Chains A and B, each alone.
Chain A
Amino acid sequence: MAIRNSLTGQFLRRSSVAGARLMSSSSSWFRSIEPAPKDPILGVTEAFLADQSPNKVNVGVGAYRDDHGKPVVLECVREAERRVAGSQFMEYLPMGGSIKMIEESLKLAFGDNSEFIKDKRIAAVQALSGTGACRLFAAFQQRFHPNTQIYIPVPTWANHHNIWRDAGVPMKTFRYYHPESRGLDFSGLMDDIKNAPDGSFFLLHACAHNPTGVDPSEEQWREISSQIKAKGHFPFFDMAYQGFASGDPERDAKAIKIFLEDGHLIGLAQSYAKNMGLYGQRAGSLSVLCEDEKQAVAVKSQLQLIARPMYSNPPLHGALIVSTVLGDPDLKKLWLKEVKVMADRIIGMRTTLRENLEKKGSTLPWQHITNQIGMFCYSGLTPEQVDRMTNEFHIYMTRNGRISMAGLNTGNVGYVADAIHEVTKSF
């Protein structure tokens, strides 16, 4: 993937609207604005909704579903909402957001006994879920390290490209997914880290990589950390699935712990969309680890200065839920139990899907289905095979072969396995 240069983009945009300001008063100001490209994932869901088949399955969905295919609101969240209802004024939060939520978020990510927390060496702000956190950091990188590049894994969550591009940060890529083995291209990844200019920024998925589901092993994380440190790169972690990936929040934050033990100062985006099911409440946080408290105060002040002209201050309701759940021992215990239920159901679907495929007599290797982690499975299906899944079996997924395990349940997993076998078997 070529470097995306913001100057080039600016020039192209300027050319396309060169005549904008020469319009007569009867012309539309917005005539020259072209439609934005369709969102491919939304397109999948729209096509699914339009399908009349009683057998249709949506495995393009980006949110958790229960075994009946229904959205889930966790009981700990319902209880937290009952507690906060009527007892809070809707006063503006500070620009940095809810202090209580930030405190609990840092403990969740870095551990209750973290030295960074005790020494007040973390600049942390509440953000509009994971996306808002990434965008704040990208704008921060652009402002204070304008000559650096962000290295983004191939592939990654599609919005990552938009986030850093709109923030004006040049992008490069590093190898990550290995199509032949449907696993990690570890040597390619290490080579790219080694070859990047010293002091580059690296975007890393902390766990449950989206869209592949492929994560480094603990040993691999240690080597990645060591190589990044040797090059003086800055690691920025996007952790959207802590607790949701394996059912154990500490285990899911293992990569971060490894980097901290190695002495890295990291950036971290956290999201409560998946692990607490707070999707539309937009609860998240951005942390930047610093040398000392003075630096943390300075960094935080600049993050707030970036947030203020973006949205002034972050939304309250989701932050109240998070701080109530994580701040109350009983609710936190209930949350841990509920997040494990979600993780276990997805792990169970992975196992069942693989078993059904192998039972069907498929001779292809399917162990990647159970090796991969989190909500998404990079199945390895080709775009043509995906089209057949849709046209012949009414199973909807993105054309890169990504399957959302959340869309599978005990009622449809057999059917999906049959379909996959049909489109992949050789005659």
Chain B
Amino acid sequence: MASSVLSAASHSVSPSCSLSTTHKGKPMIRDNTLGFHRGPNSFSSSRSRGRISMAVAVNVSRFEGIPMAPPDPILGVSEAFKVDNSDVKLNLGVGAYRTEELQPYVLNVVKKAENLMLERGDNKEYLPIEGSAAFNKATAELLLGADNPAIKQQRVATVQGLSGTGSLRLGAALIERYFPGAKVLISAPTWGNHKNIFNDASVPWSEYRYYDPKTVGLDFEGMIEDIKSAPEGSFILLHGCAHNPTGIDPTPEQWEKIADVIQEKNHIPFFDVAYQGFASGSLDEDAASVRLFVARGMEVLVAQSYSKNLGLYAERIGAINVVSSSPESAARVKSQLKRIARPMYSNPPVHGARIVADVVGNPVLFNEWKAEMEMMAGRIKNVRQQLYDSITSKDKSGKDWSFILKQIGMFSFTGLNTNQSDNMTNKWHVYMTKDGRISLAGLSLAKCEYLADAIIDSYHNVS
């Protein structure tokens, strides 16, 4: 299944990139001996042809000192899955939605939107640096609600980004440029690429407690304590919903308390919203945390992605929103975001932005889209329920597996440790990351019983 390799490339844990302590600046891979290799022809091939150089050749390549980058652990999972010959193998490392037949899925509304574009014969002109105006409008309204005062007062700066990752990177670069030295707090654990993004943007970060391995739930007290202890004016990276990789989200009451502490400490929230509508099936429910903060008058940054909820994965469509306290500062922020984007890629890709604008901006397609999101979210909920039912009917130990039902979104943290995860792979041909995360998108109802057997065996029989 070649597509599973492709699909595993993003939104996944990269343990080899994890850093557990405060990290400042960019990790530099330097080979200090490289300087001594410099000299004439250091960029030349030993196979040179044609005219003879007047200088004495020193055939040492300028790239000789470059080491192999560490392999991507998620891709490794999918590659190992591919070469496994077992009939019962399962790929639970996949980072993209799958149907009950475990096939990739293109939403019907997306196909309709693409056909509309073909019929219109749209041109291919450059978008503005900030992206498509129709897309930006639809996107801010989707996130905040069209009637949100922040939108009506033009206090939202929205810039189309390269999906969630590109949007996070724009936000990180803004922090580096205008809040130098400000620290970003990220949850432990979090999506592996978050650390790469802030590292490469030269933004220092540290972690706040989030996941509680004892309860396989939220360490709410630890989280509050760490946010309270952070230096005043820190940025707090929050997953808007469907936390990746744990699937654990705060309750509405907990979100209120988190907002209290952030306001009290004058921190600024930076939301990563990659699953709006896809998590619960409801766009409004999944945006509730962001809207709560904005309703309190707080200034927030929000990175959005349409990879999961519209299935636009490879079209790279997302946005960075900055909700400011005045329209004037929102305009200034937008101008600086554009200034950051211009030397990165000039302007964003047009194809997916048109799809989003056509779907979100068209009431008929919009309603069809909501139905499809409910279907996708519903399938994952059904799988969670079935998995839970299978495990609890088989496991007589009395262990509480209810966290499987409490978690939200595509991913589930099983609580399995590294050895237990290895057993899942070696004995049961179930491929997952070593942190115990499984992607429920790679699971069909028919396979839940098999997976339950594997989990019970690994949990009880491997220490």
Contacts and interface: CB of A to CB of B under 8 A. Distances in A.
Contact of A33 (B11, B178, B196): B178
A219 interface: no
B375 interface: no
A234 B43 contact: yes
A92 B313 contact: yes
A261 B49 contact: yes
A94 B28 CA distance: 24
B124 A131 contact: no
Interface in A63-80: 63, 71-73, 77-78
B104 A91 contact: yes
A318 B351 contact: yes
A82 interface: yes
A95 B268 CA distance: 31
A235 B34 CA distance: 18
A340 to B, nearest CB: 19
Max chain A Cβ within 10 angstroms of own Cβ: one of B124, B182, B342: B124
A351 B8 CA distance: 54
Given A33-B329, A77-B124, A199-B42, A317 B315 contact: yes
A333 interface: no
Contacts of A356: none
B62 A198 contact: no
Contact of A17 (B63, B179, B316, B325): B179
A132 B348 CA distance: 10
How many B residues are at the interface, by size bracket? 35 or more
Given A21-B232, A232-B41, A263-B47, A304 B110 contact: no
B55 interface: yes
Contact of B127 (A36, A71, A280): A280
A308 B196 contact: yes
A364 interface: no
A28 B329 contact: yes
B114 interface: yes
B329 A30 contact: yes
Nearest to B195: A309
Interface in A86-105: 86, 89-95
A243 interface: no
Contacts of B69: 298, 301-302, 304-305
Nearest to B324: A30
A402 interface: no
Contact of B63 (A25, A288, A304): A288
Interface residues of A, number: 104
A229 B41 contact: yes
A49 interface: no
B290 to A, nearest CB: 16
A81 interface: yes
Contacts of A266: 43
Contacts of A86: 111, 114-115
A101 B342 CA distance: 24
Interface in B312-344: 312-316, 322, 324-326, 329-333, 335-336, 338-340, 342-344
A306 B200 contact: yes
A35 B335 contact: yes
A91 B44 contact: no
A86 B28 CA distance: 44
B200 A299 contact: no
Contacts of A13: 177-178, 180
A419 interface: no
A165 to B, nearest CB: 7
B343 A128 contact: no
A180 interface: no
A85 B63 contact: no
Contacts of B96: 91-92
B382 interface: no
A102 to B, nearest CB: 14
Given A232-B40, A306-B200, A290 B28 contact: no
Interface string B14-56: 0000000000001011110011001111111111111101110
Contacts of A14: 180-181
B118 interface: yes
A281 interface: yes
Contacts of A115: 47
A295 B61 contact: yes
B61 A89 contact: no
B65 interface: yes
Contacts of B326: 28
A28 B349 contact: no
Contacts of B9: 92-95, 312-313
A72 to B, nearest CB: 8
A282 B349 contact: yes
B124 A278 contact: yes
A277 B313 CA distance: 24
Which 10 residue pairs across A and B have the least CB separation, nearest first? Answer: A263-B48, A280-B350, A311-B162, A128-B345, A316-B314, A162-B343, A309-B196, A317-B351, A131-B346, A301-B69
Given A32-B178, A317-B352, 19 more contacts: A35-B332, A35-B336, A63-B125, A92-B96, A94-B5, A131-B344, A132-B346, A146-B28, A162-B339, A229-B43, A230-B55, A234-B43, A264-B45, A280-B350, A282-B347, A291-B61, A305-B196, A312-B163, A317-B349
11 contacts: A35-B332, A73-B121, A132-B345, A144-B65, A166-B344, A262-B44, A263-B47, A282-B347, A297-B68, A314-B316, A316-B315
